Structure 1
Amino acid sequence: MNKNIMAIRKPFKRGDFWYYEINRKRVSLKTKDKAKALRIFNEIKREYLAGRLKQLTKEKSISLGDFAAEYLEWAETTQIYKTFRANRLALNKILAIESASKRLDQLSHKTIDKLVAQSRKKKLKPASINNYISHARMVMNKAVEWKYVKENPFASCKLVKKTKRPPAFLSPEQCTEFLASVTDNELKKLIISYLFTGRRREELFNLEWKDIDFERNSYLIRRSKTHLSKHYPMHPTFREVLESYEDRTGRVFKKWLHIDTISKHVKQALINAGFEDFRLHDLRHTFASNLAEAGESLHSIGELLGHTDKRTTEIYAHLSSGHLTQSIQKLTYQPE
């Protein structure tokens, strides 16, 4: 009798998942579905009998397409949606470059090189390209954990170098021109709020009415990965926007159901106003830069922006020195 056949035990269930046994070592098939477990097992068995399956007790050869299907099935119910969506997008980018039938252990740096080349051809920003690379790594870490490959083929791939862009901002006159061009009243309220608070994109998107304190003329930005919970003073113009709303339940800017929609609409509004090179985050720069040019201290600007590291605020240092020229002229004593 063929010893190879005797070395493999048919799939069996332990808890919710299906397993098989090879040389008395239990290996997970990473699925709760019996039909899928049998299909995967039969493919493994064929490879094993043909002598093409290497180190079966430690790792299994699997195609990129099969791994992608298995990974997405697992990730959709395990990861938070934002992470799952980014990982799925990165995986789809890899699938668009490589054949779905390609073995997982045949992926290499060349795959990422192709991804970078295609992304640059589409004129994607370095941040977007690096996001694909980072999430592709994350996906392949799971392939290592599941013992489909010995090591992550993208682990040592370098991120694309970012060209540092100085903060772009609108002057007060340009802000007036920009706001005058916005015809959608709800969009105008949102843009005014960004211009008069300097808040990050997600901070206004997530702002709730329970965080607004009209009596103290302040609002609360809750803790996030980059920000500690903190109360901020309201500018009168921002307060006017808030007071214009009758429904004061849930999120303040509830018209906008997805955060990416905000970026899209603000960007289009900037383009329509003739500011094609600007983006939503530049409204935050506008808030800070105009304060700096007006002579406000970097410390105060950093406090208003919610910076936890004062070095982050130093990008506005060259703007905050303009008022010093005027200040030094106030010296009136004369040398002998």
Structure 2
Amino acid sequence: MYYGCKKVDGRRKERSLATADRKIAERRLKEWIANLGKVDSAVEKTTLKQLCVRFIAVSQGKADSTLCIIKAIVKEFENWWPYGPNPEVRNIRPSHVEEWLALHERRLKNTSYNRYAGILKQLFELAVNDRIIAESPFDRVRTRWKKPQTPVRRVPTLEQFQAIVDEVRSEKRSSHARESADFLEFLGLAGVGQAEASSLTWGDVDFTRNSMSFRRHKTDTRFPVPIYPHLRPLLERLRQEAGPKIEPAQLVLKIKDGKKALANACARLGLPHFSQRNLRQCLIMRLWKSGIDKKLIAKWQGHQDGGQLILDTYTEIFGADDAAYEMQQLAKLEVAPSPDPAAKN
């Protein structure tokens, strides 16, 4: 077995080259000596656990949802390690990273795989920047990224949406059927996400100005949404049921998530598995087909792109199976007959 020896800053460094072949040993010795200047001897024995703690610490400024995902993936990688307790980062090889990613590859969609791989990339980039290692093992992973799959979007029709709400409200075995139905109905009529709806307070609702103010949780910014004519009866009923004395900080909706009730209702009705986001898209489709300008739709969704996301994401499914809508749009291409010149005389 060949070993490399080198004196750095007055201290003798030794490293097994893990080979009995002289040519391979010479190549590895050259790489090892080149990397000695890139590594800080004070931290080169940092363990994977210590690196994970440091990575979580530098990620504290990210959104809560993002930080939660980072913690879960990092913990999963740290707890998986089958090659001895608490390994040093410098001993982690590209094959180790590939082996862990392969364990999850079949069950993950491509976008989720990219998220797992991306967090590992950031983890080892931190180790390189802190001079714990000279080169990231992730850089030599063969499958570092996958092309995202085209998502299958299902948007319920207005009839399906109303059937779902009625089914949830009529469920006798649930003590929260009415609250769940109100929550899901609000998502579909207001066109907002589950997080925005669950945090709406009566102080955010202005019946006089016919407007509501939501906080977009992804960007922590406020955006206005009108009280649509089809939404107003629901809001007025909720306002009446809340009682005569309402605090501005009081929540409009009594529950924060209707996912379970929605899934059960879809199963009982024999409908596709619609998500709470699909209910939001139901309102976007309703506005689009009503001829509302895409910039206004984007504004009411809290988007800052002037409607580009609406065009790129949703329009391919609006009217995909709606013959009446297609005929309505084709009618716009018809040229009106030109007036008869003789009629003027």
Q: TM-score range by the shorter chain?
A: 0.5 to 0.7
Supply the distance in 2 between the matched residues of 1:144 and 1:270 (Cα, whole angstroms).
50
Conserved 8 A contact 1:227-1:307? no
Aligned to 2:24: none
Supply the distance in 2 between the matched residues of 1:317 and 1:128 (Cα, whole angstroms).
25
Per-residue CA shift, 1:18-69, capped at 9, x if unaligned?
Answer: xxxx979xxxxxxxxxxxxxxxxxxxxxxx999569755354223324544x
- TM-score in terms of structure 2 length: 0.66
Alignment partner of 1:117: what SS? helix
CA RMSD of aligned residues (A): 3.9
1:113 Cα deviation after fit = 3.6
1:96 Cα deviation after fit = 4.8
1:300 Cα deviation after fit = 3.8
Aligned to 2:253: 253
Aligned to 1:160: 146
Per-residue CA shift, 1:162-200, capped at 9, x if unaligned?
Answer: 112254211111112211221311111111111112213
Supply the distance in 1 between the matched residues of 2:180 and 2:147 (Cα, whole angstroms).
34
Percent identical residues: 19
Aligned to 2:123: 139
Per-residue CA shift, 1:89-110, capped at 9, x if unaligned?
Answer: 1112313543344332233444
Supply the distance in 1 between the matched residues of 2:95 and 2:340 (Cα, whole angstroms).
71
**Counterpart mapping for 1:172-251 below 5 A:** 172-182=158-168, 183=171, 184-222=177-215, 225-226=218-219, 229-243=222-236, 244-245=238-239, 246=242, 248=247, 249-251=249-251
Q: 1:90 aligns with which of 58, 73, 78?
A: 73
Conserved 8 A contact 2:45-2:132? yes
1:302 Cα deviation after fit = 2.8
- Number of corresponding residues: 286
State yes or no: 1:104 paired with 2:89. yes
Structure 1's unaligned 5+ residue stretches are 1-21, 25-47
Name the CA shift for 1:82/1:312 in 2 (closer, same or farther; >3 Å): closer
Amino acid at match of 1:132: Y
Alignment partner of 1:85: what SS? helix
Supply the distance in 2 between the matched residues of 1:66 and 1:292 (Cα, whole angstroms).
52
Amino acid at match of 1:253: L
Structure 2's unaligned 5+ residue stretches are 1-7, 17-35, 172-176, 320-324
Per-residue CA shift, 1:151-170, capped at 9, x if unaligned?
Answer: 44336863332112254211
Supply the distance in 2 between the matched residues of 1:139 and 1:51 (Cα, whole angstroms).
27
1:74 Cα deviation after fit = 4.7
**Counterpart mapping for 1:1-80 below 5 A:** 51=14, 57=41, 59-68=43-52, 70-71=53-54, 74=57
Supply the distance in 2 between the matched residues of 1:77 and 1:298 (Cα, whole angstroms).
36
Moved more, 203-212 or 104-113: 104-113
Q: 1:311 aligns with which of 308, 312, 331?
A: 308
Name the CA shift for 1:76/1:168 in 2 (closer, same or farther; >3 Å): closer
Conserved 8 A contact 1:87-1:139? no
Amino acid at match of 1:285: Q
1:112 Cα deviation after fit = 4.6
Aligned to 1:284: 280
Supply the distance in 2 between the matched residues of 1:76 and 1:298 (Cα, whole angstroms).
36
Ranked by relative contact order (alpha carbons within 8 Å, sequence separation 6 or more), the top structure is 2
State yes or no: 1:325 paired with 2:330. yes
Supply the distance in 1 between the matched residues of 2:226 and 2:233 (Cα, whole angstroms).
13
Conserved 8 A contact 1:199-1:284? yes
Conserved 8 A contact 2:204-2:214? yes
Which protein is bigger by CA-based radius of gyration?
A: 2
Conserved 8 A contact 1:90-1:133? no
Alignment partner of 1:88: what SS? helix
Conserved 8 A contact 1:87-1:138? no
Aligned to 1:293: 289
Per-residue CA shift, 1:271-318, capped at 9, x if unaligned?
Answer: 454334432221222222233334444344333323322221114445
- TM-score in terms of structure 1 length: 0.68
Conserved 8 A contact 2:46-2:88? yes
